[in-house]
């Protein structure tokens, strides 16, 4: 077999393994994104503790992503960064799983459990997202350009479907665990905590399978020139001058506004409204399902009119999503709110990523995505921390302080669309120059560039 045939087989097998990897990854990410806050609520977390739990991981993710491109260039390989990160992510579920187990058996007091959960969640989030740009770059190099839309679409649908299914099954299992404790020992709380132990162990096991599949994927070589380097401070200095900078400012404010309220929807449903874990999971799954179903429509529409048009349409939807929770808390009403949430976020998440990809040349895309993600993460950190503070100090609205917080989140989203998005121009077919400066001695000719994806999600509100 000649070298070209061997290479083609490597690529074909790698694409199959990468596609299959989406299933166990979907399980782990679905549980990580949607059940850490319910666990904190079960442990008795206050609003400010929920804010800290959700803000600190985002800050550390942002700081770590500032160095993603540098580390990839230093080690000369994307896979050598991706595989350890995935296995570290799998391992991070173990301490999170042990916390409710130890609390349920009175071996760990809740006041100690919550700081430990925060530290565990920092580890989980950083290991999950740190190598994301490298993974996106490597997979993009494997998929032929003419098949990227089809391949990524199928893989994202698989990951999304499995994520939704895992959320529903985890919620059903937690609900069953709690219901099975009808008086006596264990109590309902102890049974629910043991349920969280099983759910997070399952997530870690799934992610370990994902890590094994990652080891089977071939990494194509990629060279870049050292003059493509630019620092984070170069990026920030250049930002106010160009279209991409204005876009980064818009998305950063959206992140700030979204994360003001995002972590508290689970608190509102489980603690304030007293919803069961099953009801919570169904509402979460509805938003994710309609985000998946609307994705192909938004993609085709963006191909015709551009990503910016879709972002403008979806940015008219996003401000209403938290505000609609004020008018009714009936489950049937919230079901339809979640449908709208899924549709709005499905288009926004898809086109916000594509807009970044179209704004930067491939050689600089790694740093653009990493710095873009870091900027948004810092904004999300500030928004979450502020939300945690405001949740205890805002006046009541319709009987709940959190509803006032949801209102503020909607107002900030609207302001971002009116004052920032209107200043952004479409970039399709136009690649904006990005900062370049003389660089320090680099790792040599095997340095690579990376790219990756970014999505916004605020939990069950969409």
Say if residue 181 is in the same domain as residue 256: no
Global confidence as pTM: 0.87
Say if residue 206 is in the same domain as residue 240: no
At which of 189, 206, 222 does a domain end? 222
* DSSP string for residues in 122-185: HHHHHHHHTTHHHHHHHHHHHS-GGGHHHHHHHHHHHHHHHHHHHHHHHHHHHHHHHHH--SSS
Say if residue 347 is in the same domain as residue 366: yes
Q: How many CB atoms lie within 10 A of CB 4?
A: 8
* C-beta separation of 69 from 391 below 8 A: no
Lookup result for tokens 């679905």:
30
CA distance 273 to 62: 33
**Angle between helix 110-129 and 47-65 (nearest 10):** 30
For the chain, 462 residues long, the average pLDDT of each consecutive 10-residue run is 80 93 95 96 95 94 84 84 95 98 94 96 95 81 75 84 95 92 76 96 97 93 64 76 88 96 96 96 95 88 90 96 97 97 92 80 69 89 95 95 97 96 80 40 24 35 48
Looking at residue 322, what is its pLDDT? 97
* C-beta separation of 129 from 65 below 8 A: yes
* Radius of gyration, alpha carbons of the chain: 22
Say if residue 208 is in the same domain as residue 240: no
Q: Is residue 335 part of a domain?
A: yes
* DSSP string for residues in 321-346: HHHGGGT---HHHHHHHHHHHHHHHH
* C-beta separation of 417 from 45 below 8 A: no
Looking at residue 185, what is its pLDDT? 62
- Given CA atoms 386, 387, 388, 391 in this order, what sign does their dihedral have? positive
Q: Give the domain extent around 112.
A: 8-222
Q: Is residue 24 part of a domain?
A: yes
Say if residue 148 is in the same domain as residue 258: no
What is the DSSP code (8-state) at residue 360?
A: S
First CA to last CA distance, the chain: 50
Looking at residue 365, what is its pLDDT? 66
Q: Is residue 444 part of a domain?
A: no
Lookup result for tokens 């391992």:
91
Looking at residue 363, what is its pLDDT? 60
Q: What is the CATH number of the domain that holds 125?
A: 1.20.1250.20
Say if residue 98 is in the same domain as residue 149: yes
* C-beta separation of 101 from 122 below 8 A: no
Say if residue 151 is in the same domain as residue 218: yes
Say if residue 93 is in the same domain as residue 203: yes
Say if residue 215 is in the same domain as residue 236: no
Total domains, the chain: 2
* C-beta separation of 261 from 405 below 8 A: yes
């Amino acid at each position: 077999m000649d070298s070209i045939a061997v290479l083609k087989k490597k690529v074909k097998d790698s694409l199959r393994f990468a596609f299959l990897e989406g299933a166990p990854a979907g399980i782990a990410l679905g549980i990580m994104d949607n059940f850490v806050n319910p666990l904190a609520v079960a442990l008795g977390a206050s609003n400010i503790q929920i804010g800290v739990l959700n803000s600190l991981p985002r800050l550390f993710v942002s700081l770590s992503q500032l160095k993603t491109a540098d580390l990839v260039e230093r080690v000369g390989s994307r896979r050598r960064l991706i595989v350890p990160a995935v296995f570290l992510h799998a391992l991070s579920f173990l301490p999170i799983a042990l916390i409710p187990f130890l609390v349920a058996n009175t071996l760990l007091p809740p006041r100690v459990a919550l700081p430990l959960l925060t530290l565990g969640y920092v580890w989980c989030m950083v290991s999950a997202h740190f190598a994301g740009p490298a993974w996106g770059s490597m997979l993009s190099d494997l998929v032929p350009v003419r098949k990227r839309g089809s391949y990524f679409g199928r893989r994202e649908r698989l990951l999304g479907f499995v994520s939704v299914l895992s959320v529903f099954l985890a919620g059903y299992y937690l609900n069953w665990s709690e219901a099975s404790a009808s008086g006596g020992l264990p109590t309902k709380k102890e049974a629910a905590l043991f349920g969280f132990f099983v759910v997070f162990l399952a997530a870690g096991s799934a992610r370990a399978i994902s890590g094994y599949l990652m080891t089977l994927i071939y990494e194509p070589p990629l060279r870049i020139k050292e003059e493509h380097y630019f620092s984070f401070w170069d990026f920030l200095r250049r930002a106010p001058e160009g279209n991409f900078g204005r876009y980064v400012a818009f998305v950063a404010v959206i992140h700030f506004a979204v994360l003001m309220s995002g972590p508290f929807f689970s608190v509102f449903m489980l603690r304030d409204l007293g919803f069961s874990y099953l009801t919570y999971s169904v509402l979460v799954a509805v938003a994710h399902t309609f985000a998946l179903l609307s994705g192909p429509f938004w993609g085709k529409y963006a191909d015709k009119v551009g990503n910016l048009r879709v972002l403008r349409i979806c940015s008219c939807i996003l401000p209403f999503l938290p505000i609609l929770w004020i008018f009714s808390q009936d489950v049937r009403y919230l079901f339809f709110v979640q449908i709208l949430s899924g549709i709005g976020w499905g288009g926004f998440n898809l086109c916000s990523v594509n807009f970044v990809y179209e704004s930067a040349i491939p050689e600089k895309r790694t740093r653009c995505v990493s710095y873009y993600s870091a900027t948004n993460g810092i904004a999300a950190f500030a928004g979450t921390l502020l939300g945690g503070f405001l949740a205890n100090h805002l006046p009541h609205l319709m009987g709940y302080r959190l509803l006032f917080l949801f209102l503020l989140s909607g107002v900030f989203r609207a302001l971002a669309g009116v004052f920032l998005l209107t200043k952004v121009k479409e970039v399709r077919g136009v690649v904006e120059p990005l900062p370049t400066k003389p660089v320090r001695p680099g790792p040599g000719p095997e340095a690579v560039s990376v790219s990756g994806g970014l999505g916004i999600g605020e939990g069950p509100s969409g």
